[in-house]
A and B are shown apart, each in its own frame.
Chain A
Amino acid sequence: MDFLKINNLKFKYASYDESYIPEGNVLDDVSLNINEGEIITLCGPTGCGKSTLLKLLKKEIAPQGMQSGDIIFCGKNLSELSPLEQAKDIALLFQNPEDQIVTDKVWHEIAFGLENLGIKNAEMENRIAEIIAFFRLESISKSDTATLSGGQKQLLVLASLLAMSPKLLLLDEPISALDPENAESFISTLKRLHKQLGITIIIAEHKVSYVAPISDKMAVMDKGRIVCFDTPNNAMNVYERLLPPIVPVESKMPKPADSEPAVSIKNAYFRYSKKEKDVLENLSADFKKGTCYSIFGCNAAGKSTLLNLISGLLKVQEGKISWGVKKPKIAYIPQNVELMFLSDTVRGELINSGYSKDNIPDYTKDLNLSSSPFDLSGGEKQLLALAKISLLTPDILLLDEPSKGMDTNLERIMFRELNRFTENGTCTIMSTHDLHFARTVADMCSIMSMGKLTGFLDTEAFFKSNKLYSI
């Protein structure tokens, strides 16, 4: 008997809003057989239906719409499962850990699901202790959830799902919001979990390189259909063919060596409070017009702080930052792009930032204009943020992790737009973990460490000279 069997599943969203009627099926004839104890990766370009498929497996939060076909879980039709069984046996992890935390203490978060099931206190105590030990949360078990880092939050959410000992674990883009360090530790926890519990896991994720090594099988989806369901190696080939071919971006314009500086920083020092250590320590750098700079470095190296200082949101405490023009136009796309949104529809956002109704940037035309900007995928949000600052023609453009949550398609649009900015004389400075992205788009690269920037090198030279930072 199959553990999970999906037969000819079709799905079409209901519309809640008259101005937007979704066309076509989001899922079309999806069939999958999954055995107990397998790890399955679902991948495919943005909008292929992988998230919808996951949500349909969890009845209580399944989206509204027309559905046909069967989902059979442990020999029972999913719709016949009692709410209690649903809650206990199938666990779903959403993309953003911040939104899934319900309580203010770590131990209480783990207890939350158990409390809902009405389990006896002694049994709860036992399960909580087990989970805390397994996830190594002892040192933070009594902390406030608000004090945890992003990676710890994602781990906590996973832990609190597992406290309910589910049979099937569904993960919806669990690592796309995490940086490489946290993504790696999340994956290794998953691996350990699978080894010890033998739990069945389905992961929808576009950062395939992280999840493929631990998967038993991979399902590639495109336009609501499953185009391939095979071993990770074979499926990867199909997946790569599905992506638009990698065309080298038009060769970068040779930069005039002596273009004017847009920003120069001299011997800058900065720390957040008296008792803390310096984040910037005697940092000096020059950033020229019409050039794209990329800054690497691990978490908490001070990259975001540096961008904040250049934008003027923070002020240096010693040293000096001088801008090329007196009142430079500075555009800043922060790591959390949602900080830029002000309106409740995508259309409203575009009109707010100066576009007229029929003159919106071509790359935003595919977005659902009447949906909320918060309903967009991570990559689409980045594009919308870019559109919002495009009309400004800024002197300095600051980007914090611009390729976050982007699939290859969207990345390509980002390359094109950033190049356009640079050609128009904008000085672009970005901080990123994404080496591929930086290599394609940046002219100069540097690493931030111990409060300083290493000397900027030409991108090619940088990747040649660095052993660890190389592709």
Chain B
Amino acid sequence: MIFEKYYILISLFLIAGSLAIVFSRLDKRHTGVRRITLIAVMTALSIVGRFIFASLPAFKPVSAIIILTGIYLGSEAGFLCGCLSAFLSNFYFGQGPWTPFQMVALGLIGLFAGIIFSKRRFKRSSFRMIVICIYGLICGIFYSLFLDTWTMLWTYGSFDLKGYLAVISAAIPYTVLYSLSNVLFLIILDIPFGKRLGRIITKYRI
């Protein structure tokens, strides 16, 4: 047995606590009204996207939209979009002790997207597209692995490698589909999102 259930309890409190600390520090930084509404719009889009594709397992634009939010609106926006997408969509898809973990995982995906693809570092090019796709793929794998591990720990409290590998390999098709759908959505949505968000950002001086 590798893990004990107490670790989850402790990590749950740690995660919820650190989320609360991060949230309570948000007001320290000024964010313009227009940026705030854009964050809300992008989060709503990702949640509505989860609805639209609710019937297809694993095929969701959620992470792609969160990554694009991070890229075009910055890491704070990406983080909030990720956290709130997870939290609010779970009101329809089921809340549970997993919610804080999902919030942090998706939030970090958005946060790092914002840090890695900041405008200064990356000009629009095919190289950038490839890096974005790789990032999407890694995020997909990371997110599904993370949640699978968490589910195992949550259900049985402890596990050995054999059972874990069995679950992971059973979930491989799902993970692959999820990661590929991330990449697919990023390829399809990057150009229109970039164009339209860019237009709004220059037009309204955000």
Contacts and interface: CB of A to CB of B under 8 A. Distances in A.
Interface in B190-206: 195-196, 199, 202-203, 205
A23 interface: no
Interface residues of B, number: 6
A16 B202 contact: yes
A16 B203 contact: yes
A344 B202 contact: no
A353 B195 CA distance: 21
Contacts of A16: 202-203, 205
A344 B196 contact: yes
Interface of A: 16-17, 64, 344, 372
Contacts of A17: 202-203
A77 to B, nearest CB: 24
Interface string B173-204: 00000000000000000000001100100110
10 contacts: A16-B202, A16-B203, A16-B205, A17-B202, A17-B203, A64-B205, A344-B195, A344-B196, A344-B199, A372-B199
Interface of B: 195-196, 199, 202-203, 205
Given A17-B202, A344-B196, 8 more contacts: A16-B202, A16-B203, A16-B205, A17-B203, A64-B205, A344-B195, A344-B199, A372-B199
Nearest to B203: A16
A344 B195 CA distance: 9
> What secondary structure prevails in chain A residues at the interface with B?
loop
B54 to A, nearest CB: 19
Nearest to A60: B33
A129 to B, nearest CB: 28
Top 5 A-B pairs, shortest CB-CB distance: A16-B203, A344-B196, A16-B202, A344-B199, A344-B195
Contacts of B199: 344, 372
A17 B205 CA distance: 12
A96 to B, nearest CB: 15
Contacts of B196: 344
A86 to B, nearest CB: 14
Contacts of A372: 199
B112 to A, nearest CB: 29
Contacts of A64: 205
Contacts of B202: 16-17
A368 to B, nearest CB: 13
